[in-house]
Amino acid sequence: MAATSDYTGDVTVGGPAEVRRLPGLEITKIAVGPMNNNAYLLRDPGSGETLLIDAANEAARLLELVPDGRLDTIVTTHQHGDHWQGLAEVAGQTGAATVAHPLDAGSLPVAPSRLVEDGDTVTVGGARLSVIHLRGHTPGSVALRYDDPEGSTHLFTGDSLFPGGVGNTGGDAEAFATLIDDVEHKLFEAMPDDTWVYPGHGGDTTLGAERSAVPEWRARGW
């Protein structure tokens, strides 16, 4: 795994994970599966509690990341199958609570033990993550926001925001309008430029790196 100071967010399927250590949270990023999905293991260093964002694929590799086999919670960002191929196995082997938005819950292979809405909180030990409902890529897509004690903001966006644009809406103009509105108002207007973005596929970015392009995304319609 990469050392903390070397964290870039650039991982490849079959390659090593990268680890980022914040004051109250440890973030491990790994790429899995044929669609190059990112999965994120969050760990509170004080309590040892852990949370996995998207048990996307390669359950065995995801389980190897879990310290001493302890996984407390799995959050699924949205209903698309490439984000939950490992969910049943990982949840079954660890007994982790499973979390999703109610509008996407019915498509998952494991019925969530907890449903979350916009504004709810998910915890990992002493770390609190705010749930942000982003409609458009799917009806129940969610992002998770973490504000660390030293003032930086970290945002796990699933497939709703990437470097270079918002998530795919399949040419549905109404869905795109809904998604770009939610992303602009709930993310760009609500958080500072140095907010670090951890997407569901590919490399990381910041809101500041993407902010000036939002009008272009809106104009192009995807």
Q: Is the dihedral of CA 191, 196, 199, 202 positive or negative?
A: positive
**Banded model confidence at residue 68, pLDDT cuts 50, 70, 90:** confident
Question: Looking at residue 163, what is its pLDDT?
Answer: 98
The token pair at 89 is: 């196995």
Give the tens place of pLDDT for each residue, 23-60: 999 999 999 999 999 999 999 999 999 999 999 999 99
The amino acid at 215: P
Domain boundaries, the chain: 4-220
| CATH superfamily to which 4-220 belongs | Ribonuclease Z/Hydroxyacylglutathione hydrolase-like (3.60.15.10)
What is the pTM (predicted TM-score) of this model?
Answer: 0.97
Give the tens place of pLDDT for each residue, 173-210: 999 999 999 999 999 999 999 999 999 999 999 999 99
Give the tens place of pLDDT for each residue, 95-123: 999 999 999 999 999 999 999 999 999 99
Q: What is the mean pLDDT of the chain?
A: 96
Question: Looking at residue 129, what is its pLDDT?
Answer: 98
* CA 144 to centroid of chain Cα atoms: 6
Question: Looking at residue 5, what is its pLDDT?
Answer: 59
Give the tens place of pLDDT for each residue, 69-96: 899 999 999 999 999 999 999 999 999 9
d(Cα 144, Cα 128) in Å, to the nearest integer?
A: 10
Q: Is the pLDDT of residue 1 over 80?
A: no
**Banded model confidence at residue 160, pLDDT cuts 50, 70, 90:** very high
Question: Looking at residue 38, what is its pLDDT?
Answer: 98
Three-state helix/strand/coil letters over the chain = CECHHHCCCCCCCCCCCEEEECCCCEEEEEEECCCCEEEEEEECCCCCCEEEECCCCCHHHHHHHCHHHCCCEEECCCCCHHHCCCHHHHHHHHCCEEEECHHHHCCCCCCCCEECCCCCEEEECCEEEEEEECCCCCCCCEEEEEECCCCCEEEEEECCEECCEECCCCCCHHHHHHHHHHHHHHHHCCCCCCCEEEECECCCEEHHHHHCCHHHHHHHCC
